[in-house]
Amino acid sequence: MTKQPHILITNDDGIHAPGIRHLWNSIRQHAKVTVVAPISEQSAVGLSITIRTPLRIEKVIWESGSHDTWSVTGTPTDCIKLALRAILDQKPDMIISGINRGSNIGRGVLYSGTVAATIESVLQGIPAIAFSCHDYNVEPDYPTLSKYIYPIIQQIIKHPLPKGTLLNVNFPESKLAPFKGVKVTAQGNEWWGEDPDKRIHPSEGHSYYWLGAKLHQDEGEEGESAWLRRGYVTAVPVHVGDLTDRDHMESMKELFESNLEAAITN
């Protein structure tokens, strides 16, 4: 009998979000599962960690009676760090994050708490997959999404990603189901641009802002957002292990060092 993998689940929508329950339900028959997730929503916190206030870990009992479920009063990255150092006796075989309500594509992955949890995971040497769905203002069709979850996990178990690489998976709008297939593609060029909304405090008179944001797109028909619009599930291998621009490092090294040495000594 093949040993079941141990999979750690987290998210950024919070321990009580429906997406994480569906993610758990998608794999619980196939793996040993531990859930460690924020006690409240932590969207758009990126890789932030909590260092100025204490963190609490509390056991959460879902209706299923699962006892390997924990909440953390911190960020998704806090959850990974505490799971590995304070909750689990051994590293899990894989960490998965989601299912996030709202897509995480393009340069938006740098803000995403969902993806940040998987970045922290691969930095800790653990394979990781982030799952997000395009639906945000409507309830996602989680059962349709769920049937893709473990097959994708199995592929990464059988064919491991390179060290320092995570897999970022996004599902199209549920109204496009049945989906046309899965596309391995490159990260898109979408980015969030600021759209500040100035308000005036009604009693004190001072101004304040809702930062706001609008999604901008600048890519062709082979980018991940284009495939999502066509009804394909997208899977993007994102490498975060070594952020050095090695080509430019070699080209700038001699000139930069010699010019700086001359400037400092003169």
Residue 58 forms part of a structural domain:
yes
CA-CA-CA-CA torsion sign (103, 104, 107, 113) = positive
Higher pLDDT, 181 or 208: 181
Tens digits of per-residue pLDDT, 23-36?
A: 999 999 999 999 99
pLDDT at 50: 94
pLDDT at 67: 67
Which residues are paired to 215 by β-bridges? 192
CA-CA-CA-CA torsion sign (85, 111, 50, 19) = negative
In the chain, count H helices and then E strands: 6, 13
Residue 197 forms part of a structural domain:
no
Tens digits of per-residue pLDDT, 202-219?
A: 887 788 766 666 665 666
pLDDT at 218: 61
CATH number for the domain spanning 175: value is 3.40.1210.10
Tens digits of per-residue pLDDT, 52-73?
A: 999 999 999 876 665 689 999 9
Q: How many domains in the chain?
A: 1
By residue range, what is the domain housing residue 184? Answer: 6-189+220-265
